[in-house]
Chain A
Amino acid sequence: MNYTLDFTPVIEGLPSLLTACLGTFTLAICGMLLATVIGIGGVVLRQSKIAPLRWLVIVFVELIRNTPFLVQIFFIYFALPLTGIRLDPTPTAIIALGINGGAYAIEIIRGGVQSISKGQMEAGLALGLHKGQVFRLIILKPALRAIFPSLTSQFVLLTLTTSIASAISAYELTSVSQRIESDSFRSFEVYFTVTIFYLVISWLMMRLFALFSARYFAYPVK
């Protein structure tokens, strides 16, 4: 154990590590937004009267949840160009994160919707609202509130999963730290620092969700 710690390369690389955190945030936030859209849209299609649409959602969820994220992101980055769709690493990572997170979000949000009593739906319909309006205006918010803790953990996980985007050299914290590590060979110092960074990022995300929840779900329940 005559390894002497030397944080100089890390300190010199600090500005680029910090800006890389912005890259991580960008991937995470955009990925979450996309995942939310897919999650809510998927729940709507999952309840559709048209059976093939329901099957489509079931197949999508099973496909995504039972394959590795790394393979999914490689598929979009390396395999899709063969069909003429060529995307840069950052959009690729956002789409992959959105799709992956979306598949989990569908199942989570669906649980929330099912937890809302049938009486809410009936009260809306009896007032002359359409099914779509009932879902949007009456069911959705209480349903999201019911599952918000699960959605938060899923999205913190999504935030950490951004590090896998380093495999296609997307601009984010892990790929930048890899570069500093391979230039300096200071593996311990670099990954120790990055670990702390990720902890802080996770914590910030949780705070963000807690703040959102406190504002958006402020109504009292029995």
Chain B
Amino acid sequence: MNDIATTAGNTHPMISMTGVEKWYGAFQALKDINISVAKGEKIVLCGPSGSGKSTLIRCINHLETYQKGEIRVSGTVLGHQAKTIDAVRREVGMVFQQFNLFPHLTVLENCMLAPLRALKLSRQEAEGRARQLLERVKIAEQADKYPAQLSGGQQQRVAIARALCMRPQVMLFDEPTSALDPEMVKEVLDTMIGLAEEGMTMICVTHEMGFARQVADRVIFMASGAVVEEAPPAEFFSNPKHERTRKFLGEILGH
């Protein structure tokens, strides 16, 4: 009971990271990360390549281990035991740069797999959920196709629907539009904006600054494994405090 410290009241943040440090061997990938994300908050995480953005969000659902500090997801301390890890993973959806749809399953089966096997829903219930969410990402008519028969943008929307089928409390996005042809970026961003408007708690690693301006409550800028600066988008873009942030924005916005 010490590990699952879910206590009364909904006062705790959805995600809190305190003093998180991670090493790959001798290389420190995360340095004293302290981030708190409230329910319904949307965070955009940005920073140069290799700054540790992926590592950070992958620690939240324990795809990466960390050596120091504490991560809580809706009050549950993410320990290192299988039980708490599984519990947290069911609450946290993740969308990857490379979509990672399962090639041997149809779109519908992709969406039903985890609800059937991890949540033990009935087939009927799982299918109902899957169809509803495919509808929501505007791809219901492709339900019986295989991933290889879809465009990149369609695949990524299926991946979003697949994650939503678990009814997660938080969604993590790791550069969801970076692998897409330019003309498909918008359809995925629109899906994410829709999700944000419905009040989903989101952490998005992305360099789509238009998206950040439109939906983010806060932008967090990382460099060399540490959080350099965090601010609401208006302030972040118009008045960056740190030299590194200015340099990064200059590069990315092409100033």
Contacts and interface: CB of A to CB of B under 8 A. Distances in A.
Contact of A119 (B98, B105, B113, B117): B98
Given A127-B166, A129-B117, A130-B86, A219 B100 contact: no
A219 B146 contact: yes
B244 interface: no
Interface stretch (A8-16, A92-100, A133-141, A178-186): A133-141
6 contacts: A124-B102, A126-B89, A128-B86, A128-B114, A129-B113, A142-B104
B25 to A, nearest CB: 18
Contacts of A222: 148
B148 A128 contact: no
A127 B63 contact: no
Contacts of B148: 219-222
Given A220-B146, A221-B148, A137 B113 contact: yes
Given A127-B114, A129-B118, A122 B89 contact: no
Contacts of B113: 127, 129, 137-138
A79 interface: no
Given A128-B89, A219-B104, A221-B103, 5 more contacts: A122-B63, A129-B117, A133-B118, A219-B148, A220-B148
Interface of B: 61, 63, 82, 86, 89-90, 92-94, 96, 98, 100-105, 113-114, 117-119, 146, 148-149, 159, 162-163, 166
Interface of A: 117, 119-120, 122-130, 133, 137-138, 141-142, 145, 217, 219-222
Contacts of A142: 102-104
A190 B246 CA distance: 87
Nearest to B105: A219
Contacts of B159: 123
Nearest to B86: A128
B104 A123 contact: no
A122 B96 contact: yes
A145 B82 CA distance: 30
A123 B100 contact: yes
Q: Give the one of B92, B103, B148, B163 with max A CB within 10 A.
A: B103
State the 3 A-B residue pairs at the shortest beta-carbon distance, nearest first.
Answer: A123-B100, A127-B114, A128-B118
Contacts of B89: 125-128
A220 B166 CA distance: 26
Contacts of B94: 123, 126
A137 B117 contact: yes
